[in-house]
Amino acid sequence: MHVDVKGLMPDSHYYYRFRVGTWISPAGRTRTAPAAGSDAGGMRLAAVACQAYQDGYYTAHRHLAQEDVDVVFHLGDYLYEYPVDAAGGARRYNDRTLPDVFNRETTTLADYRLRYALYKSDPDLRAAHARHPFLVTWDDHETENNYAGAVDENGSPREQFLARRAAAYRAYWENQPLRAEQLPQGPDARLYRRLAWGSLAQFDLLDTRQYRSDQAYDDRPHAPGAESDDPARTLTGAAQERWLLDGWRDSDALWHVMPQQVCFSQRRFDLTAPARVSMDAWDGYRASRNRVMAGAKAAGVDNWIVLTGDVHVGYAFDIKDDFDDPQSRTLGTEFTCTSIASGGNGSEKPANWDTYMKANPHMKYYDGRRGYVRVELGREKAQVDFRTVSGITQPGGSISTSASFVTEVGSPGLKSA
């Protein structure tokens, strides 16, 4: 159901429901943003990602539904293409048996549609959607693991993969709160969007999957080199990059928030020099990242927050002008929102915690448990809270704030709250 409702008041909550014959749906709540350019004092958002159904319960969504936030950004891996067994994987259902139709990798339109139906049968996910408006972008798993543009991870023929991509994109659009005009045309879909919250914030929601160059070095962890640093390579595509940089240049917003998929900041995996980094993230596309950072500087974007999914852990980073020089200027901050479910319960200090913290001095926080990130944007500062659940393999886990940071207007960089 896609209804583009017109004539709503700015900065207001609305309730909605659907009626078919005598059947009336539960009521949902949404809200409109303050009018363009108006003097919004503050707002709160949440960022979530990565909800592999078979990895556990959506405990984090159940708590998210109780949060007082204006909007939720979903940063991708809303669903996973992998098979879900009869017991729902780690959910270990003993009161139901999932049909065989879910126990295979999604490749056709029917497969993807059914998979959304399974995910959306979850009561905790439904509660979060009913309570908050969602702004969504995808990562890889809504289609296929680590695909890049028209290239899948198995080296399938291009036309074959694009047919699968068209099916995945179509099912995504059908099942997400997207505008009618965003209907995909075959394997092409315009997902990147810009939204404003009065004069307080501009949100530039990116799509770093559809237009990217294929991963360098066979997508294995590798030190940056000639192959990955080729300036012809791109993570965003040329058109989206121009749109992003032009949008910053033309903006008077106080905050510039960039919700997107993969780690923007440098993330060294080892203490050796050179260290290996991820070829699937911005580290594998450093020329692309340098162009975006140069654009942010040229536009005078000085209250810059990047929100990231993908990695299934919570990180807080200072975005450094030169990531190899801890003394260089801090341009902004990045927060990864861990996962709702992917990876199971996780642990507070993953095995590589010491290595990562030492190898990346601009990484100020690293936690391997499930949850989401909550952000309060104000006129003087932003506060970011890592909301962490106790566990997801049993229903009913509790939530707490495991860390809080602030970043002050005009003085980019993380401070402990």
Which residues bind to Fe ion, rule: CB under 5 A? 50, 77, 342
Instruction: Identify which of residues 303 and 342 has a Cβ nearer to Fe ion in the complex.
Output: 342
Q: How far is the CB of 311 from Fe ion (least distance, A)?
A: 8
Reference 271, options 204, 203, 354; nearest CA is 354
Task: Return d(Cα 191, Cα 236) in angstroms, integer.
Answer: 12
How many other C-beta atoms lie within 10 A of the C-beta of residue 251? 18
How many other C-beta atoms lie within 10 A of the C-beta of residue 198? 19
DSSP H or E segment with residue 61: helix 59-64
Instruction: Identify which of residues 77 and 367 has a Cβ nearer to Fe ion in the complex.
Output: 77
Reference 200, options 118, 332, 58, 305; nearest CA is 305
Any residues with CB less than 8 A from the CB of 47 and at least 6 apart, and which? 72, 73, 75, 259, 307, 309, 335, 337, 372, 373, 375
Report the side by side order of strands in the sheet with 314-320: 193-197, 201-205, 255-260, 304-308, 330-337, 314-320, 363-369, 346-347
243 DSSP assignment: H
Task: Return d(Cα 308, Cα 259) in angstroms, integer.
Answer: 6
Instruction: Identify which of residues 50 and 189 has a Cβ nearer to Fe ion in the complex.
Output: 50
Instruction: Identify which of residues 342 and 360 has a Cβ nearer to Fe ion in the complex.
Output: 342
Q: How far is the CB of 399 from Fe ion (least distance, A)?
A: 20
Q: How far is the CB of 407 from Fe ion (least distance, A)?
A: 26
Joined together, the tokens standing for residue 279 give 């070829």
Contact 93, 404 (CB under 8 A): no
Instruction: Identify which of residues 198 and 309 has a Cβ nearer to Fe ion in the complex.
Output: 309
Q: How far is the CB of 263 from Fe ion (least distance, A)?
A: 12
Instruction: Identify which of residues 40 and 128 has a Cβ nearer to Fe ion in the complex.
Output: 128
φ/ψ of 60, rounded to 5, equals -65, -40
Whether residue 350 has a cis bond before it, omega within 30° of 0: no
Q: How far is the CB of 75 from Fe ion (least distance, A)?
A: 9
Q: How far is the CB of 281 from Fe ion (least distance, A)?
A: 12
For residue 104, how many C-alpha atoms fall within 13 Å in the half-sphere facing its CB? 10
Within 286-417, where are the H helices? 286-298, 353-359
Q: How far is the CB of 310 from Fe ion (least distance, A)?
A: 6
Any residues with CB less than 8 A from the CB of 65 and at least 6 apart, and which? 124, 127, 128, 130, 131, 132
Instruction: Identify which of residues 144 and 318 has a Cβ nearer to Fe ion in the complex.
Output: 144
Alpha-carbon dihedral 205, 218, 80, 143, rounded to 10 degrees: 60
Q: How far is the CB of 209 from Fe ion (least distance, A)?
A: 12
Q: How far is the CB of 347 from Fe ion (least distance, A)?
A: 17
Instruction: Identify which of residues 240 and 342 has a Cβ nearer to Fe ion in the complex.
Output: 342
Q: How far is the CB of 392 from Fe ion (least distance, A)?
A: 14
